[in-house]
Each structure stands twice: as C-alpha cells, then as structure tokens.
Amino acid sequence: MPFGAVFASLLLGLVGVFLPLSALAAASAPTALARVALGVICLNVSIGLLRRQPWARWGALFVAAVLLVLHDLIAPPGGAVTKLAVLFGGVIAIFLLAVPSTGRIAAAERPSPAGGLAVASIVGVLALGVALVWGALA
C-alpha cells in the first residue's frame, strides 16, 4: 500500500474521530453540525483508502483540500496545535496523494499539456491572490 494512502487514511481517520467530539464544545449548532458531517466524511474516505477503493484517492485529495481551506473554522477554540496539525497534515496528504506511488512517470503515463496548463493557471491564481492580500495588508 503506498505511503500516501496510509498517511491520508491515518490523518482522515484521526480527524474523523476527533472532529465530531469537538462538536460538543461548539458555540453554535451549524458549527457543530458541520464538524460532525465533515468527521463522518473523513471516516468514510479513510475506510475507502484502507479498502483500496478506486474513488478513495481522489476523494481523499478533495477532503484534504477542504480541511486545508476550513482548518481555522473547524478546529476547536484555543487549539493552535490542532489547527497546525490539520493544516500541515492536509498539505502533506495532498502532496503524497497527488504524486504517483513510484515517483516515476512512464512514457505512456505522461501528463497531457492540459494538465500543465491547469497547474500553471492554479499557480497564477495563487500568485495573484498572494499579491492582492499582500497589497491589502501593506
């Protein structure tokens, strides 16, 4: 089993267990419901990764991206370590799941030019976003 799938399964499994438990201390009902729902989704994707389901790798990429975006909102209050663990765990999981398990791309598996264009577009949007935020803070 590739290390990326194992790491993502452990991360999503732990988040899936502790996220609904942190819903008990949530200040509002929508926040508690969001934590429980995301926790159940994390557990389902974690089980899918362990069972080597074909959809689980891409599902884990999506859920890790959602955790990255929402890590500040879903972490329990005063949990700076939890926020950072979810943030960096999500980044590592996305990287490990996105890279092929062997690290080598065979001639038949080379990405198409559309993939490179998509990556360049994402990098451009991120650079523009960083520039706009930097300009707003200055």
All structural domains of the chain with their residue ranges = 3-102
Whole-angstrom Cα distance, residue 16 to residue 8? Answer: 12
* pLDDT value at residue 90: 85
Burial readout 98-134 (b: 16 or more C-beta within 10 A, e: otherwise): eeeeeeeeeeeeeeeeeeeeeeeeeeeeeeeeeeeee
pLDDT at 23 over 70: yes
pTM, entire model: 0.65
Mean pLDDT of the region 78-89: 78
**34 close to 48: Cβ distance less than 8 angstroms:** no
The dihedrals phi and psi of 28, each to the nearest 5 degrees, come to -135, 160
The distance from CA 88 to its chain's CA centroid, rounded to whole angstroms, is: 9
